[in-house]
Amino acid sequence: MYGFTCVSTYVRTNERTNKETDERKNERLNERTYVGTKKERTNKELNVRMYERMNKRTYISRYICTYVRMNERTYARTYERTKERTNERANERTNERTYEGMNERMYGRTKEQTKERMNKQTYVNRKERTYIHTYVGTIERANE
């Protein structure tokens, strides 16, 4: 009897200690898993936030880049247009000035008369050039 009771009390105490150790193990496991899940959660949240920030940054930078490009294009276009306009105006002004100057030089004649005179002059000059050219050519041939 005595030995049996000792064995039974030993078994009971052993069971208790086993239970306690199992509970502690479970608690530790639960703590670990909880901490792990918490870490995972926080990491996921952090990653999501980081991605959101990155996306925002990239989106904003893209938006700014497109805006800058658009502005550059529009600026370039407007610059070209203004340049063309200024060039056209400048050409018109120079043409007007030269024409007026010629008019004044031609003793206050009308524009048509000055044009006719200019055309006559160029015609005469051409005629003289061709005549001189042919004359020189005939002289050279005769000398040969």
Q: Model-level pTM greater than 0.85?
A: no
For residues 74 and 123, state if they share a domain.
no
User: For the residues 60-77, what does the mean pLDDT come to?
Assistant: 77
**Residues 94, 122 within the same domain:** no
Q: In which domain, by residue range, is 36 found? A: 32-105
Is residue 80 domain-resident?
Answer: yes
pLDDT in tens, 118-138: 777 777 777 777 776 676 667
Q: How far apart are CA 141 and CA 143, in angstroms?
A: 5
Q: Supply the pLDDT for residue 1.
A: 46
What's the pLDDT tens digit per position in 21-30? 788 888 887 7
Q: Indicate whether 134 and 116 sit together in one domain.
A: yes
Give yes or no for a contact between 103 and 114, defined as CB atoms under 8 angstroms apart.
Answer: yes
